[in-house]
């Protein structure tokens, strides 16, 4: 059971599991290097992964605990349903219920694929007193990035992941984006969602996620709807490579962590494409893994050649 020490203004929190062990170690090391105000760092893992992480993070500056401590803090959660849903949805519930431990007024939610690239202080997340900045933007960066993907469904998915929550809480107007990790979350905002929407509708946050699976949208729309705290907007804190082609583009342009550090606190290399960082044995055969690596190299070569061809044509045509 996690010890409830004196309540902090802000803590860091990461919900992770065995597959992300290597990424978690990288994140922890980056926090230790750049954490100038020694902000406490909590990490929760499933019970079956506790020993693995205890051994891997021995002597690291973190507080490791069983994610069941969070689940026990809300007796209304249906654990049978919780353990039947996809792991990514379970993580959304766990992260969003962390506030019930009453450890802090605010918490920065870090995914395992985050990494800090510059020194940071509490003032990077807190405006004044116990009022945090709020991540609010329109998601134009990811919408532009997905415009290069042939399927054309990503913009539709972007809306379907956000509009139902906006509508459920009764807000009209444009669709805002409140992500991506790391998120700055205030416990009072989560309490306001619970008090003003979930309880009156006889729902838990698990029910909310099953209705529309976007935890940061539930937070952001609750912030706008119930106004638990003043709003001081900030854009995303980290440079996020949602897709590998975004990284390839920056590499071609010479963008590196030193340049990114002028505007960002860190970088996110999305784990859905950075699969070589996965911990443990893959269920796929060696032949399949080799073929995937070869296809990735071919795809990168094609991408680079396509960019160079476009630059050549632009130079000749002198057009945008």
Domain ranges of the chain: 8-277, 284-320
- How many angstroms separate the CA atoms of 79 and 208, rounded? 15
- How many angstroms separate the CA atoms of 206 and 96, rounded? 10
* Percentage of the chain lying above the pLDDT 90 cut: 69
Which stretch of 73-87, 199-213, 245-259 has the lowest confidence by average pLDDT? 245-259
Residue 276 confidence (pLDDT): 66
Phi, psi of 226 (to 5 degrees): -100, -10
For the cut 80, the answer to whether the pLDDT of residue 301 exceeds it is no
Residue 133 confidence (pLDDT): 98
Residue 58 confidence (pLDDT): 94
Q: How does pLDDT run across 118-155, given as a tens digit for each residue?
A: 999 999 999 999 999 999 998 887 777 677 666 667 77
- How many angstroms separate the CA atoms of 138 and 79, rounded? 35
- How many angstroms separate the CA atoms of 240 and 220, rounded? 19
pTM: 0.87
Residue 259 confidence (pLDDT): 97
Q: How does pLDDT run across 280-299, given as a tens digit for each residue?
A: 655 666 666 566 667 777 77
- How many angstroms separate the CA atoms of 133 and 31, rounded? 20
Which stretch of 29-38, 142-151, 270-279 has the lowest confidence by average pLDDT? 142-151
> What CA–CA distances, in Å, run from 271 to 70, 243, 278, 279?
24, 10, 8, 11
Angle made by CA atoms 140, 227, 102, in degrees to the nearest 5: 100
* Percentage of the chain lying above the pLDDT 70 cut: 86
Q: Does the domain spanning 8-277 belong to CATH 3.90.550.10?
A: yes
3-class SS of residue 72:
helix
3-class SS of residue 224:
helix
CB 131 within 8 A of CB 229: yes
Task: List beta partners, residue 238.
Answer: 266
Angle made by CA atoms 187, 188, 191, in degrees to the nearest 5: 90
Residue 55 confidence (pLDDT): 96
Phi, psi of 171 (to 5 degrees): -100, 140
3-class SS of residue 105:
strand
């Amino acid at each position: 059971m996690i010890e409830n020490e004196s309540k902090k203004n802000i803590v860091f929190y990461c919900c992770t599991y065995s597959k992300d062990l290597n990424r978690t170690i990288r994140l922890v090391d980056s926090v230790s290097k750049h954490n100038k105000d020694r902000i406490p760092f909590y990490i929760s893992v499933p019970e079956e992964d506790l020993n693995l992480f205890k051994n891997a993070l021995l002597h690291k500056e973190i507080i490791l605990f069983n994610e069941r401590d969070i689940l026990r803090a809300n007796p209304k959660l249906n654990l049978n349903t919780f353990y039947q849903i996809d792991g990514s949805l379970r993580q959304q519930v766990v992260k969003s219920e962390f506030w019930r431990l009453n450890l802090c007024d605010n918490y920065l939610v870090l995914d395992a694929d985050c990494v800090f690239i510059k020194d940071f202080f509490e003032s990077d997340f807190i405006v004044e007193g116990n009022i945090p900045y709020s991540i609010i933007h329109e998601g134009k960066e990811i919408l532009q990035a997905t415009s290069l993907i042939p399927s054309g469904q990503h913009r539709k998915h972007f809306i379907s992941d956000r509009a139902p929550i906006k509508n459920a809480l009764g807000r009209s107007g444009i669709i805002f984006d409140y992500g991506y990790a790391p998120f700055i979350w205030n416990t009072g905002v989560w309490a306001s969602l619970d008090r003003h929407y979930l309880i009156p509708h006889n729902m838990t946050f698990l029910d909310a996620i099953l209705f529309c699976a976007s935890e940061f949208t539930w937070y952001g729309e609750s912030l706008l709807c119930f106004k638990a705290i003043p709003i001081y907007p900030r854009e995303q804190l980290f440079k996020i490579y949602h897709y590998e082609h975004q990284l390839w583009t920056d590499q071609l342009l010479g963008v590196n962590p030193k340049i990114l550090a002028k505007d960002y606190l860190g970088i996110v290399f999305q784990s859905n494409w950075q699969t070589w960082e996965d911990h443990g044995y893959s269920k796929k055969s060696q032949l399949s893994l080799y073929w995937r690596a070869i296809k990735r190299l071919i795809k990168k070569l094609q991408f680079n050649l396509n960019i160079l061809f476009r630059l050549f044509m632009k130079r000749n045509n002198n057009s945008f």
